[in-house]
Amino acid sequence: MSRIEQDMRDITEVVNRRLDALLDETCEPGILMDAMSYSLKAGGKRLRPVLCMLSAAMFGEMHKALDVACAIEMIHTYSLIHDDLPSMDNDVLRRGKPTNHVVFGEAFALLAGDGLLNCAFEVLLNYAQKNRENKLDVISAMHIIVSASGTRGMIAGQSADLEFEGKDVDAQVLHYIHERKTAAMIKASVIAGAALFYANEADMKALCLYGDNLGLVFQIVDDILDETGDEKKLGKSTGKDKDAEKMTFSRVYGIRASQRIAKEKTDEAICALERFGKRANGLRTLADFMLERDK
Amino acid sequence: MSRIEQDMRDITEVVNRRLDALLDETCEPGILMDAMSYSLKAGGKRLRPVLCMLSAAMFGEMHKALDVACAIEMIHTYSLIHDDLPSMDNDVLRRGKPTNHVVFGEAFALLAGDGLLNCAFEVLLNYAQKNRENKLDVISAMHIIVSASGTRGMIAGQSADLEFEGKDVDAQVLHYIHERKTAAMIKASVIAGAALFYANEADMKALCLYGDNLGLVFQIVDDILDETGDEKKLGKSTGKDKDAEKMTFSRVYGIRASQRIAKEKTDEAICALERFGKRANGLRTLADFMLERDK
């Protein structure tokens, strides 16, 4: 196991434990909590929390970003639950398990998604309440996350994705959709971790550039894996985008060119980290890891 | 038109204008924004914003609570859109108009709901950013709202409502459901307006008692109107609760006893306002108004 894989595993364990505790704090036992917990615990790469924690570690104590990282994962999980619903992508497999609505029914899946989004804000607000004396800039971190997950960010991307399904669109629309649908929250994970510790403008700018490129790479690789990946390894159905005539990088550019673009963007992401020297080793290796991933 | 009706109308106009502006600030033009705007503009009593503004007026300048009031209305509207979905209550009429999913389809209705919940937080956070110097306690107001709308509040109530549909339940379960599903956000509207201006503990306690009772009255009257009300006046389908074998006050206690309880609770609500003298005239009259409402 590589160093970054070990780091990711360590962070993931801490995040998983904290997610459990946070769910206990914000929910009452019952079907709703079971449904929320089911998707939250279904695994996944925990990429966004890892990004947030690695970025935070460059500016302060990593563990102080834990609740922010968990809130981001809650938002990501809610978006997956709602995305999988029959009225949306109608997916039955996610992270190698039956999707939320398959197990709990549509109504509880809907509420579990709503619940996780609301919970994320509760977690962030509780943390903001505890940090009233400006030791940490929780408000700025929240602002970054909520903008990225919102109606100019992730939700706008999902909406555009629906709107253009089956339509012949160009590269510009493709970028519009993916910048919002996936890249926005990936970028937010990186910069929220830094904003929490009052990172300066130049550092934030560099991390924005890293996040923009990384977000794009993530989506391109996702598109490629949807066509060429192993369903078992990925833990989700493949070929769905093609079936639904969704806009993907591999559809617009072809697999080869998509791989080339992904490599270029990874280089650009890593280049943006230059000013941080060795402190950014984690983020640097993570970018390479994301390019090479097969799940 | 009574004084309170005129006040409500004035506040409603201000709220409606601000909701328009806030939507422009937080959304990009397109179907998603249209769907959000459709339900937000469909009218309704704007009871929660009015409560928030009237309560705020007792402790500071009413207009300073405007964004908080609008965020509450966004959360209320999102909950209606999701509640009306086919997998939930499957309602086709709301506020006298076809429901969101009837007009925009299920997928966009889902996203419009998600979008409004996220927007509410964006609006509150923008306001918190502007009030960093603690002139207003936006963080506390947010905390009250997000707890009430969350998985120990409104979402827990909706979940329990689903869970017990068609089952024979007692008064205790009925209260559990309604305290969370409806009363929590009504109470939060009242106390968030006061918390914004750092209202003291004794004042907050009195307003909590008012809010608890008012929330209950609102739900009881809602249940009665679902059985006896005029569909045209109400702007929504009636008799739905009975058809779905939902737990309602009129089903557990009968119409007569429900009316008696509603009157008692209104008196208790008004009684809780005693310490505020004339300052609470608005909230006092509103309680009476809510008891007598026929829509």
Q: Crossing angle, helix A184-195 and helix A47-57, to 10 degrees?
A: 30
Name the residue among A113, A143, A162 with its Cβ closest to that of B107: A162
Contact of B164 with chain A, judged by CB distance below 8 Å, is answered with no
- pLDDT value, residue B211: 97
pLDDT averaged per 10 residues, chain B (length 295): 81 96 94 97 90 97 97 98 95 90 98 98 94 88 97 96 84 88 96 97 98 94 84 69 69 88 96 96 93 82
pLDDT of residue A108 exceeding 90: yes
A162-213 pLDDT, tens digit per residue, is 998 878 778 888 889 989 999 999 999 999 999 999 999 999 999 999 999 9
Contact A101, A91 (CB under 8 A): no
Give the count of beta carbons closer than 10 Å to the beta carbon of residue B229. 18
Name the residue among A113, A121, A156 with its Cβ closest to that of B146: A121
Q: What is the mean pLDDT of residues A35-62?
A: 94
Contact of B146 with chain A, judged by CB distance below 8 Å, is answered with yes
Phi-psi domain of B200 (left: phi exceeds 0; alpha: psi -120 through 50; beta: other): beta
- pLDDT value, residue B145: 98
Give the count of beta carbons closer than 10 Å to the beta carbon of residue A295. 12
For B142, nearest residue in chain A (alpha carbons): A125
Q: Which residues of chain A does B104 touch, with a Cβ-Cβ cutoff of 8 Å?
A: none
Residues 6+ apart with CB under 8 A from B168: none
- pLDDT value, residue B131: 86
Contact B62, B56 (CB under 8 A): yes
Q: Which residues of chain B does A158 touch, with a Cβ-Cβ cutoff of 8 Å?
A: 111
CA distance A153 to A208: 15
The model's pTM = 0.94
Residue B284 CA, distance from chain mean position: 17
Contact of A147 with chain B, judged by CB distance below 8 Å, is answered with yes
Name the residue among B119, B125, B149 with its Cβ closest to that of A151: B119
Contact of A26 with chain B, judged by CB distance below 8 Å, is answered with yes
CA-wise closest residue to B58 among B199, B187, B211: B199
Looking at the complex, report in whole angstroms how far the Cα of residue B26 sits from the nearest Cα belonging to chain A: 6
- pLDDT value, residue B234: 66
pLDDT interval class at A46 (50, 70, 90) = very high
* Domain definitions of chain A by residue range: 3-292
Q: Provide the pairing of β-strand B93-94 with B97-98.
A: antiparallel
CA distances from B11 to A80, B74, B144, B194, B202 (A): 38, 16, 22, 17, 27
- pLDDT value, residue B293: 82
The DSSP result for A35-54, as a single string, is HHHHHHTS----HHHHHHHH
CATH class for domain B3-292?
mainly alpha
Which contiguous run of DSSP H or E holds residue A227? Answer: helix A201-228
- pLDDT value, residue A135: 86
**Strand, helix or coil at A198?**
coil
Question: Tokens 């399904």 appear where?
Answer: A165
- pLDDT value, residue A242: 61
Contact of A244 with chain B, judged by CB distance below 8 Å, is answered with no
pLDDT interval class at A5 (50, 70, 90) = confident
Name the residue among B118, B125, B149 with its Cβ closest to that of A151: B118
Question: Tokens 């998707």 appear where?
Answer: A39
pLDDT of residue A236 exceeding 80: no
Structure tokens at A149: 């997950």
- pLDDT value, residue A80: 96
Contact B4, B282 (CB under 8 A): yes
Contact of B182 with chain A, judged by CB distance below 8 Å, is answered with no
Residues 6+ apart with CB under 8 A from A291: A217, A221, A262, A263, A266
- Three-class secondary structure assignment of chain B: CCHHHHHHHHHHHHHHHHHHHHHHHHCCCCHHHHHHHHHHCCCCCCHHHHHHHHHHHCCCCHHHHHHHHHHHHHHHHHHHHHHHCCCCCCCCEECCEECHHHHHCHHHHHHHHHHHHHHHHHHHHHHHHHCCCCCCCHHHHHHHHHHHCCCCCHHHHHHHHHHCCCCCCCHHHHHHHHHHHHHHHHHHHHHHHHHCCCCCHHHHHHHHHHHHHHHHHHHHHHHHHHHHCCHHHHCCCCCHHHHCCCCCHHHHHCHHHHHHHHHHHHHHHHHCCHHHHHHHHHHHHHHHHHHHCCC
Structure tokens at B26: 């937080």
**Residues 85..104 of B with a Cβ closer than 8 Å to A: which?**
85, 87-88
Q: Cα-flanking dihedrals φ and ψ of residue B198, to 5°?
A: 55, 45
Contact of A72 with chain B, judged by CB distance below 8 Å, is answered with no
Q: Do residue A114 and residue B87 have CB atoms under 8 angstroms apart? A: no
Structure tokens at B20: 């328009």
pLDDT of residue A249 exceeding 90: no
**Strand, helix or coil at A94?**
strand
**Residues 31..60 of B with a Cβ closer than 8 Å to A: which?**
31-33, 36
DSSP secondary-structure letter at A180? I
Looking at the complex, report in whole angstroms how far the Cα of residue B126 sits from the nearest Cα belonging to chain A: 8
CA-wise closest residue to A66 among A32, A105, A22, A23: A22
